[in-house]
Structure 1
Amino acid sequence: MDQHQKYLIHDNDSIFTSRELQNFLANTNIKSKKTGFKCPWQNGTCERTIGILRQELLNHIIPINEKHLK
Structure 2
Amino acid sequence: MPLPNRYRRVIRIGPVKVATYYTRHGVDRHTAACTAPGCGFSADYRDRAAAELAARTHHCSA
TM bracket (short chain): under 0.3
More helix by share: 1
TM-score, normalised relative to structure 2: 0.23
Q: Which of the pair is proportionally richer in strand? A: 2
Larger relative contact order (CA 8 Å, sep ≥ 6): 1
Between Structure 1 and Structure 2, whose CA radius of gyration is higher? 1
The normalised TM-score by structure 1 is 0.22
